[in-house]
């Protein structure tokens, strides 16, 4: 199966911007194992493109603000205590990082480079 066919199957698998379980089950039951791997990989990439991952040590966000900034995205919140007073937003391959830890690391690198 070529990439165009896989992309068509992935596009058919969605209804109202959400995966349709019945359609996915039908597709997976009739394709070969090799094609199934390609199809699952296509679904993963599609989900990655359709999702926005927001990580923060405290999950206390206004969902409506994110929906306005990123329309047509499925928003997933994750708790990440390592961010220290910050937030990380992953939109497909783009990472927006607003964290105190990041700022402190930059300062430490600057000090190490200039004062060793």
Q: What is the pLDDT of residue 10?
A: 94
pLDDT per residue of the chain (116 residues) written in tens, 0 to 9: 899 999 999 999 998 888 999 999 999 999 999 999 999 999 999 999 999 999 888 877 778 888 888 888 888 889 988 877 788 889 988 998 887 777 888 889 989 988 76
Q: What is the pLDDT of residue 35?
A: 94
Please give the tally of structural domains in the chain.
2
Residue 52: closest CA among 24, 30, 76: 76
Q: Are 60 and 101 contained in the same domain? A: yes
Q: Are 83 and 29 contained in the same domain? A: no
Backbone angles phi, psi at 11, to 5 degrees: -65, -40
Q: What is the pLDDT of residue 23?
A: 94
SS3 of the chain: the string is CCHHHHHHHHHHCEECCEECHHHHHHHHHHCCHHHHHHHHHHHHHHHHHHEEEEEECCCCCCHHHHHHHCCCCEEEEEECHHHCCCEEEEECCEEEEECHHHHHHHHHHHHHHHCC
For residue 95, the cross-strand partners are 90
Q: What is the pLDDT of residue 82?
A: 81
Q: Are 15 and 33 contained in the same domain? A: yes
Q: Are 108 and 95 contained in the same domain? A: yes
Identify the domain boundary among 49, 69, 87.
49
Q: What is the pLDDT of residue 116?
A: 63
CA–CA gap between residue 105 and residue 55 (Å, rounded): 18
Q: What is the pLDDT of residue 98?
A: 83
Backbone angles phi, psi at 61, to 5 degrees: -120, 155
CA–CA gap between residue 19 and residue 111 (Å, rounded): 49
């Amino acid at each position: 199966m070529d990439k165009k066919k896989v992309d068509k199957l992935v596009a058919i698998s969605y209804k109202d911007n959400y995966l349709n379980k019945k359609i996915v089950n039908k597709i997976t039951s009739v394709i070969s194992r090799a094609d199934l791997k390609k199809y699952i990989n296509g679904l993963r990439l599609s989900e990655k493109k359709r999702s926005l991952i927001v990580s923060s040590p405290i999950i206390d966000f206004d969902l409506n603000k994110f929906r306005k900034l990123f329309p047509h995205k499925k928003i997933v919140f994750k708790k990440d205590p390592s961010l220290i007073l910050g937030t990380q937003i992953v939109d497909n391959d783009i990472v927006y990082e607003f964290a105190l830890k990041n700022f402190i690391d930059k300062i430490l690198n600057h000090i190490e480079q200039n004062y060793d």
